[in-house]
Structures are given as C-alpha cells and as structure tokens.
Structure 1
Amino acid sequence: MSTTDSTGLYTSMLDQAEPSQPATTADPQPHPNWRWFWLGLFLAATPLLVPYFIGMWGNPTYRYFPFAIAAVAWLAYIRFDGHFYPPRGWFSWAAVGLALLLIVFGTVVQFPWFAAVALAILCAAMLYAMRGPDDETLLVVVLPLLTIVQLVRADALLVLWLQNVTTWMSSVLLDTLAIPHAVTNNVIQLADRELFVAEACSGIQSVFTLSFLAFLMIAWRRRRIWMAPLYLAIACLLAIFANVIRVTVVALVANSYQFDLAEGWPHQLLGYFALAIAFGFLLSFDYLIATLLHRVPEESEFNPLVAGWNYLSLESDEQASGGRGTQRNVMDLLDRDRRSGAFRWAQGLVDNRIAQIGFAALAGLICLASLTQVIRSRKPANLVQSDKALVFDPAPDLINDSLNVLTVVGHKANRGYEDPRLGANSDIWECQWDDVTVQFVLSQPHQGWHELCNCYERLDWTLLDRDIQAPDQFESIEVVANNPDALTSTYVLARFKRGPTQHGYLVFAGIGSDGTLVDAPDSLSAFTHRVWNRIDSTGVWDQNEVIMLQMWITSATKINPRKLQELQEEFIAARARIADAILENAGRTLPAQALRVDGPAPASAVAKSDRAMTAKELN
C-alpha cells in the first residue's frame, strides 16, 4: 500500500512538472530590461530632436509631423503584445550601432538632421523586433515616421519642378475653360491682375502631407512594404492635381466673380478642400489596388505562379486566414529567434551587470553631450511667422557709403509680391559704372538658402558656370564691418549668356535674420557643404528666415577679370554693410572693426562718400 501510494505520488508529481518543463526551457517572455534598453537609445537622441522639431514647426511644409509621430505611436500601441524584444538579428544590431554613430556625429557637427535619421532607424529596428497577436513584425508601422526626415536640398528642387508643372497644367485648364490669360514663367496674367504660383501654392505643402497619408494608409491597412514606392508616386500625382485645382479655382473666381481667393482664410480653406479631394482619390486607389492584387486560392499541388502571386499580394498570411495570427505562429517565431546566435549573445549582455552599467553610461554620455550642445547654442531671434512679413526694412541709402567704384542712381522698394519674380519683399538699388549696369537686390524672407541661378535660368538665361568664391582669395581687400565673417563667408559667382551679345554675371549670398552670414552651398554637393559649413553660427538651431542679397551685372561684352574682381569687392562690402544693419535691427551689437586681407591696397579703394547720393536726392 505504501509502495503504491508512493509510486502514485511520484507519478502525480511528474504529471504536474511536465507542463511547466517547456516554460522553463523555452520561455517566450523577453527580459524586462529590454524596455529600458530602447528607452535609453531614444533618450540619447532626444536633445538634438528638440531643435530639429522646432525648426520643422517653423516650416509650413512639415507641420504635419506631430500627427506622424502620434499615428506611429498609436498603431504600435494597439498592435504589440505588451513586450519589448531585443533587436532581431545582426543586421538590426548594426542598425542600432549606426544610429548611435549618427547621434554622435550630429552632436559634433551641430546638425540635428542626423538625430532625425537616427530616430527613424531606431524606430524601424524596434518595430521590426516587436510583434503582436495579428502581426509577426510591426515594421510596416514605421513608414509614416519616415516622412519627418527632411529632404534637405531635394525639397527645394521639388518646389521648382512643381511650380513649373502646376503653372503649365493650370494654363491648359484655363484654356479649356476659355479664360483669357498669359503665362510668364510662373506668373499667370489675367485681365486685371497677376497670379503668382508661389512656393506656398506649388504643391510642396500637400505633396509631403499626402505622402504621409499614403504611408499611413499602408501601415493602417497592413499593406506590403514593397507597395510604398507606388503609393508615394500616386501621392505626388495627386498633390499636383490638388494644386492645379487650387490655382485654377483662384483664377476662375477672380475672373468671373472678382473675388480674391489667394489671400487669408478663403485661401487656406480652399487648400484644405483640395487636400481632402486628393485624399479621397488616394483612398479610392487603395481599394482599387486591393481588388487587383488579392490572394488567390492555393491549389492541391504546389504552383510557383500562385505562390509568387500570393507572396506579392497585399494580404499577409495572417490576414488571409481571418485577420488574426495564431499563438502557435508567435511561439514558433520566438523559439526561432531564441535559437539564433544574436539572441543568445544579446540575452547574455542584458543579464550582465557590467554590460548594463556600460550601456547606461554610454547612453547618458551621448545624451549629456548633445544636451550641452543644444543649451550652449544660440537660438535665432527676430524670426517672422508670415511669408510676407519684413525681416528687415533697409534704408534707401544703406549701401551708398560702402561702394567705391559703383554709383547708386536709384532705389525701389517692392512689398507684398508687387514684383513676384523677386519674392514677397524686395529692395532694388540701380548702379552704374562706365558701360556696365549693376543691380543690387535684397529679397526676403526665404525659408533657407534660395538658389537664384534657377530663377535666371527660367528667364531664358543660359548658365555657363557656377563657382563658390571666398573674399580671402583676393590679394587685398578692406571692409569696415562688425561681423568678422565678412571676409571669410563664401558666396556664389555665376556666369550667364543670352543670345550672341548679352552677358550676365550673378553674385549672390544669404544673410540670416539675425545678421549672421550664410555660407554658399555647392550646387552638386549641397548636403555635405551644409554639414561642414553650417548655415549660420547658431549651432544646432537652423536659421529659418534667410535674406538673399544678389548683384546682377549685364554687359554687351565680356567683363575682364580685373573689373569683375572689383565688382566682387563691391559686393563683399555691400554685404557686410547690410549684415551689420540686420544685426543691429535684431538687437545685437558688435564693435565695428576694419577687416582686411594682407597685401597691397587695391587701386579702386578710394573713399567715395562725396559721390554717394543721399536719400533726399533719391526721392
């Protein structure tokens, strides 16, 4: 009896132990420290993201970014299984290492854009590792977050292309509606007014917004990631369509009802209405593509064509089986990850106290370094919020005393797009020197560097070459300026030709709204130039408003090198004088100093105050 009882008790104990044996040897629950691992990575990137997002909010093009972040966070929250997992595979670990290097590099070169790229990489690695009852991976959720990474130079090029396309298609539509008009560059001339297809109406605002909505639709409806380029192309086409509708409606209402839809809240309401129509077409496209690329039933025998089609279809295996995955599939995935070398290596690290302390110290050091960089950097002041507002109102005789060989013969101020080719606000100084006609133009405000060579190419001038110049290349030049960068900040010298006898020379540069001089970006490597020569001296903070100064020279013959050098010296002196005035207007003052490059004095360096015209004479 006792033996039987003992045997029965032993058997009962085995029966109780057997169910718990798999949980001990193949426990699918991840280590709780992985949540702190991901949190530490995101905290390391946070300081640089603060100025980056503040700069994005100052640009109407990217003001949708809070919705992108909120949408990704919400989709991840409602889909994941409540557990955080280590990076899946060596490739994910390499991505995490790359993200940390980008954060460090962005801190060193004071460029927060790298932190935004690191954020996208970290989110992709984390979401690729996460899973839920309906999804083996949440990687597709990261797509809307990719749209918060600015395109640096590419968005400006996209503006120019969309301006031309929007103007051309709007003109075709106006011809169809029998509305008399004329098109000059990006200006639509009606019977009694001009409509300038400005950057705000060219599609740059809605093209990024629609791209975000397209990626959000892919993530929301669990479409295949490989469909993202197709959805992005459709979003660009719909953005052009929406803006053609906007421009055409503005012209139609102005011509038929004499009502201005290009200003104020009616213009904003029209923009939202056009965006809603474009989003409706985007939804229609999604339903169409889902109908065309649906899964087909599996055959009894393996068919490679059917298998390939189902693999590329928009529905995953879980969706095809009813919309939910099975616990067995998730368990198999976890077991497969646990058998990988990367998982075992990562699990050993997370259990090691020294590795934990080392990771916390590394993340804290990167966070502290980037936070120090943000705190020490000077946030730009005197920023305007409207694209028509004046950053700086120059005096008519502002540059007279700074010129040596040129004589100012007139000044004209344009405000509120009076001359749309020169932007919202511009000041023009007409100058003369022998048979050479020179114009100084100060245009404002611009969102970052404005490539003026493109403007003259649209005016049928042929660009021959474009060079980056520096003031210290001349043997001797002296400038009285408050800003010591007056003799080091670079500018652009471009040569043009139109017809057999017209020669044009364009010298231009940018000045920040606080008086800082903006280095000229190389047209072929603008991104790397922006990294090594920051847009201003404010550190990690981007200068939102930039004032562009140009000197446009026309001549019937080629200008000899010596004369062209003297004209460039005039531009350098005028730029320094204007930058000092902008600096004083922003409330910053520096002691004036005479800046010069060592060498013999130039022959043209003669005081010309007696020839400078006063404001009274100009008026």
Structure 2
Amino acid sequence: MAAVAAAVAPFLGWHVRWMSVRAHYEAFPLVVLGAAVLAWVRFRGAPARAGSGPAESWAVWAGLAAGWAGLVAAEVLSSSWLACVSVMVLIPALAYGIGGREVLRRVLPAWGMLWLLVPPPMDLDRLLILQLQGLTTAWSSAVLDALDVFHLAAGNVIEIDGRSLLVEQACSGINSLFSLLACTLFLVLLTRRGWGRGVFLMLAAVGWVLAANVARVVLVALLETRWGVTAATGWRHEAIGVVLFVLAVGLLLSTDRLLEFLTRSGAVGGDVPRPVSGGNPEQGPARPSRVGRFAAIVVPAFLALVGLHWAARGDQPVLPVASPLPLATNPELLPVKVGAWERREFGTETRETHSFFGEYSQNWLYALPELAVKASLAYPFPGWHDLTWCYRSTGWQIDGQEVVAPATVPGGFVQVRMSKPGFRHGFLVFCEFDRSGRPFIARPGGAREPLFRHEAALERFRSRLEGRPAPPLDPTGAAYQFQVFVEGASVLTPEGEEAVRQLFVSLQSAVRERWAAEHAVKP
C-alpha cells in the first residue's frame, strides 16, 4: 500500500492542480469528502474479514498491472487524464486484494463517487461547455421572445439595447451542473436508490440545471432592460447563481420524493442489514510466503514509477513565477505608431474569474486608412489557452488555422481564419508568454491541442533516451495572451493578412522587450 501510494501521489497532485484552475471543477473537494463519507458509512461497524489475499487472485494481478502500465503511459505522454483513470483502476484491485469481495463491495459506492473527478478525455469538457452555452442562449432567447423583450442572439451573445450579454461558462450551467450531479450521485449512493431511479434523478439534475441557468440569463436581461440594474457581473450575478442553485437542489429533492410516491416505495432506502458470513472457510489469508512474493514484485514496480517521475521531471529548472495581478492601465505599453499603423483608441475590460476571455484585458485599436485592427492583451490563464474556443463561443466558425514559427516570434504564433453568419469574416493572430516574456510554444487548437501535448511529451522522453537536447518546455505560472484581430464583410486579401501579421510581430515584440527589461533590473 505504501509503495502504491508513493507512486500515485505525484499524479494525484498533478491532477488536483489541473482541476483547481478550472472553474467548472471548483467543487471537486466536496466530491472527495462525499466519497470519504460513503466509505465511512459502508465500513462503520463492519466485521474484520479474511480475504483471499492479493497473491491468490488473478483479478488483483490484472488490476495492478493495468494501473501500473497506465501510470507509466501517463508519465510518458504527460496525460493527467490517463493517470486519473489508472488510479481509479487501482482502487478496486487493492480493495479486493486486501479483503476480498466483502471489502470490494463496501468500497464500490465511494469508488463510483470518485469517477466524477475523471474529466472527459481530449478536453471534451470544453465542447460540453460550448454546447451548454449554445443551448442556454437559444432557450433564453425563446423565453425573452415570449416576454416581448426585443433582443438579438448571435452565437452565445444576447444583445439588448446596444448592450451585449455574453453567456459565459458560469451562465451556461457547467459549474452548477458538476456540483448538482455530485449532490445527486451522493444521494443515490448513500440511500441506495435503484439503478432506474438513480439514472432518472441524474437526468432530472441536468434538466433542472438547464432550467435554472435559463432563468439566470433571463433575469439578468430583465434587470438590465427594465430596471437598469447591472447583474451580468459582480456580487449580484453570483448571488443570483447561488439562489438558483439552491432552488435546483430543492427541485431535485422534490423530484426524488415524487418518484418515491409514484413507485409506492415507503422506504427511504437506507443501508439494509446483510447477514455476515464467515466467508469461504477454504479461503484463508494468504500464506506469508505468497505475500512476500507478491510484495517482492509489486513494491519495486511501483517504486520504479517514483523514479521514473523524478527522472522525467526532477531536473526541470524552477523559474520564478510572477503573481498574475492586474496590470497597471497603460496605453503606452504599445507604441503610438508602427510603420503606417496608428494607435487610435485604448480601453480595458474586467470579466468573471476564470473567464474564457481572461479576467482582465487591455485593448488597443490600430488603423490604416483602409483597415482597422484590434490588439488585446488578456490574462491570466493557467497555461496555454486555446483562443479559438472563445471565438467559437461568440458565433464564429473556424475555417482554418495554422501554427507559424518565425525567428522573430519566440515560440511561434497561431493564425486563424473565421467566418460567421451575416457575411462576416475574421482573421486572428495570437501568441502567449509569461510575465517576463518567456514564450509558450504555439500549438494547433480544438481537438488537436491534447494530441500536441502528448506528442511533445513523448518527444521529450525520446530525446532523453537518445541523449539529445530536449525540446523547450512551457514556462510555469500564469499565461498572458496577446492577439490581433480584424473582421469585415469580405475576406482579407493576402496583402492585408501580411500587413496584420507584421503589425502583430512588432506589437508582441514591444510587450516582451519591455517586460524582459523590467525583470532584468530586479535583484
């Protein structure tokens, strides 16, 4: 047990850090607490059982081997998802090895609860967020039509009286969906609801969350238009979300009581006492010799994982991490003129924490006589941030994107061509770096981004085996995203794209050089 715990601890810490910077998983500590409560309830007063012993079951060997192989692959591919799944495979194997079927049976409810900590693979949770945003926007628009509120829905933006209300991920329901699903699953497992009733309650939870978040968007729109109360951000927005979440929990409990009435079930579904048998008398505890042979194989195998982890990551340089505090409002961060381009306007924006567009941004408008470009510096992000998801959430369709790595832009940049209904076309160029100007490696967006991470990790592993210099790593700490964006009624010409690219190269260089100079003078 100690060897397995030491092997999985780095991966669990890795996954906890990953979840802690994503708003839709902010309730994950409650999932862990719920699993602990379920385990305590199931094991409370349980008699000691003599299991078959880990060395006497092929299932234990298979589970430990699969978990060990998954952790090795997770290390090589730098995949927190694969590491999390591997840990979930190890839990029932260890439970069965320690106490046989009885201990496994008691562990299963807590194990089922912990599956909520396993995110969808290939960043599919982002796609889920986008779909929920679209669904919430469409349903909210229908309700506003029924209330005779004149508005325009474009992508995930509702425009009312010249004001744009962006249906952010919090309004889409993803945050409260995870929390309510966790509450529902805890209720089902704690009270031992049947499979049919449990599945229906989970589906009902999704329905109530969607209804609550449509109500949230509609209420914000009505407060803005009819009473002049701003509730799209700030404490009012958060208070509305909390009240509606509590209402959704109450509606879910009411649904549970309705199902109990309809099924004529008088019992709440508590823990039904089971006769305690002494187990198979022919299966006693594993003999010391077998346990010793088992430990001689398992302990070195899992301790080798610890060595693999530190060999792969222990020599990485620890660079200073700057705190992602709001930058001082500074129009002069970018030059007044860049060739024929002239700086015309400047503004700042503050959004929700963990917003897809960044909590803070500074925006400049550069113009030629025939073309205007918006330049933005948005932050903070926990790492490389795929900006194409943000534009998709506002109604843009990605027509094509490519990674460009010129010598003038360390780390490279991504350029994207987009379109949206109404004959609108867009051209986007962006890159990312930390507070001192160190670059994040540019990578393709969408479903290809996770593949890039795994390929880069595999290439680093190969380079170590072959004694070659390893590819550069992304810096630690918050990412700052710099972009230039232009849109119009027609597709930008190749000459226009080249002019925008050259402006981007000059502007991002100005930011990096200034930040690098600021950090160079510090002791």
Distance 1:259 1:564, change over 3 A: closer
Structure 2 residue runs without a partner (length 5+)? 458-470
Q: Sort the Cα spacing of 1:170 and 1:407 in 2 relative to 1 into closer, same or farther, 3 A.
A: same
Is the deviation greater in 72-81 or in 181-190?
A: 181-190
CA distance in 1, matches of 2:474, 2:15: 13
Counterpart Cα distance in 2 of 1:240 and 1:414: 32
Q: What is the CA-CA distance between 1:145 and the residue it aligns to?
A: 0.9
* Matched residue type, 2:473: S
- Find the aligned partners of 1:394 and 1:288 in 2 and give their Cα distance: 55
CA distance in 2, matches of 1:551, 1:174: 34
Native 8 Å contact 1:510 1:517 kept in 2 = yes
Partner of residue 346 from structure 2, selected from 412, 425, 429:
412
CA 1:131/1:155 → structure 2, altered by over 3 Å: closer, same or farther? same
Q: Is the 8 A contact 2:74 2:82 kept in 1?
A: yes
Which residue of the partner structure matches residue 506 of structure 1?
A: 428
Tell me how far apart the structure 2 counterparts of residues 121 and 421 of structure 1 sit (CA, whole Å): 33
In structure 2, distance between residues paired with 1:276 and 1:584: 50
Alignment of structure 1 residues 305-320 onto 2, 5 Å? none
Question: For residues 563 and 270 of structure 1, do their structure 2 counterparts lie closer, same or farther at Cα, with a shift above 3 Å needed?
Answer: closer
- Larger mean Cα displacement after TM superposition, 509-518 or 66-75: 509-518
Structure 2 counterpart of 1:40: 3
- Alignment partner, residue 465 of structure 1: 400
Aligned pairs for 1:83-482 (under 5 A) are: 90-127=58-95, 136-151=105-120, 153-178=123-148, 181-190=151-160, 195-223=165-193, 231-255=201-225, 258-289=228-259, 323-328=272-277, 331=279, 338=283, 347=286, 351-370=290-309, 373=313, 376=316, 378=318, 381-384=321-324, 390=326, 392-393=327-328, 395-400=330-335, 407-417=341-351, 424-432=359-367, 435-446=370-381, 449-456=384-391, 462-467=397-402, 469-472=403-406, 477=407, 479=408
- Aligned equivalents of 1:588, 1:233: Cα separation in 2: 56
Contact persistence 1:349–1:356 (CA under 8 A): no
How far is the alpha carbon of 1:139 from its aligned partner? 1.9
1:580 deviates by 4.5
Aligned residues: 496
Q: Secondary structure at the match of 1:550?
A: strand
Compute the displacement of 1:350 (Å): 6.8
Given the alignment, which residue of 486, 492, 504 partners 2:414?
Answer: 492
| 2-structure distance, mates of 1:577, 1:68 | 45
Q: Distance in 2 between matches of 1:140 and 1:224?
A: 13
Equivalent residue, structure 2, for 1:61: 24
Decide whether aligned partners of structure 1 residues 579 and 158 sit closer, same or farther in structure 2, where only a CA change above 3 A counts.
Answer: farther
Q: CA deviation at 1:443?
A: 2.7
Task: Find the aligned partners of 2:413 and 2:426 in 1 and give their Cα distance.
Answer: 17
* One-letter amino acid matched to 2:322: N
User: What is the CA–CA distance in structure 1 between the aligned matches of 2:165 and 2:63, rounded to whole Å?
Assistant: 48
RMSD of aligned Cα (Å): 4.4
Residue 75 (structure 1) shift: 1.6
- For residues 588 and 112 of structure 1, the distance between their equivalents in structure 2, rounded to whole angstroms, comes to 35
CA drift of 1:99 comes to 2.1
Q: Is the 8 A contact 2:154 2:395 kept in 1?
A: no
Matching of residue 520 in structure 1 with residue 443 in structure 2: yes
> Which TM-score applies when normalising by structure 2?
0.77
Cα 1:365/1:557, change in 2 over 3 Å: same
1:362–1:247 CA distance, 2 compared to 1 (3 A): same
Change (3 A) 1:536 1:143: farther
Q: Is the 8 A contact 1:254 1:260 kept in 2?
A: yes
- Deviation, 1:45, is 0.8
Distance 2:343 2:305 in 1: 57
Distance in 2, matches of 1:568 and 1:425, equals: 24
- Give yes or no for contact 2:38–2:109 (8 Å, CA) kept in 1: no
| Aligned equivalents of 1:128, 1:284: Cα separation in 2 | 37
**CA distance in 1: counterparts of 2:521 and 2:474, whole angstroms:** 16
Judged with a 3 Å threshold, the aligned counterparts in structure 2 of structure 1 residues 410 and 434 are, in CA distance, closer, same or farther, namely closer
Q: What is the DSSP-based 3-state SS (H/G/I as helix, E as strand, rest coil) of the residue aligned with 1:213?
A: helix
Shift of 1:546: 3.5
DSSP 3-state at the match of 1:273: helix
Q: Deviations over 1:36-76 (max 9, x none)?
A: 3xx43222111232243234233332222222112212322
Going from structure 1 to structure 2, the CA distance change for 1:520 and 1:531 (only over 3 Å counts) comes to: same
For residues 378-434 of structure 1, the C-alpha deviation after alignment (integer angstroms, 9 at most, x for no partner) is: 4773344xxxx63x447434444995x55233241222259x996653333333457
Alpha-carbon distance between aligned partners in 1 of 2:96 and 2:319, rounded to the nearest angstrom: 36
Superposed CA deviations along residues 69-98 of structure 1, whole A, max 9, x for unmatched, are 122123223313455855695455333223
- 1:548 partner letter: Q
Q: Secondary structure at the match of 1:548?
A: strand
| C-alpha distance 271-555 of structure 1, shift in aligned 2 (>3 A) | closer
The amino acid across from 1:575 in the alignment is Q
Per the alignment, do residues 138 and 422 of structure 1 end up closer, same or farther by CA in structure 2, a change over 3 Å counting?
Answer: closer
Residue 38 of structure 2 corresponds to residue 75 of structure 1: yes
Instruction: Compute the displacement of 1:557 (Å).
Output: 6.3
- Which amino acid letter does the alignment assign opposite residue 342 of structure 2? V
1:562-581 to 2 correspondences below 5 Å = 564=497, 567-581=500-514
Distance in 2, Cα, partners of 1:94 & 1:504: 53
Task: Kindly state the Cα deviation for residue 365 of structure 1 after the two structures are TM-superposed.
Answer: 3.3
Q: Does 1:549 align with 2:482?
A: yes
CA distance change for structure 1 residues 128 and 582 in 2, over 3 Å: closer, same or farther? farther
Secondary structure of 1:138 counterpart: helix
User: Could you tell me how far apart the structure 2 residues matched to 1:192 and 1:500 are?
Assistant: 18
**For residue 463 of structure 2, what is the aligned residue in structure 1?**
none
CA shift at 1:247, angstroms? 2.7
1:418-472 Cα distance to aligned partner (Å, 9 max, x none): 9x996653333333457454332323344555544455456665543223x2314
TM-score, normalised by the number of residues in structure 1: 0.66
Matched residue, 1:537: 473
Instruction: Point out the structure with max Rg over C-alpha.
Output: 1
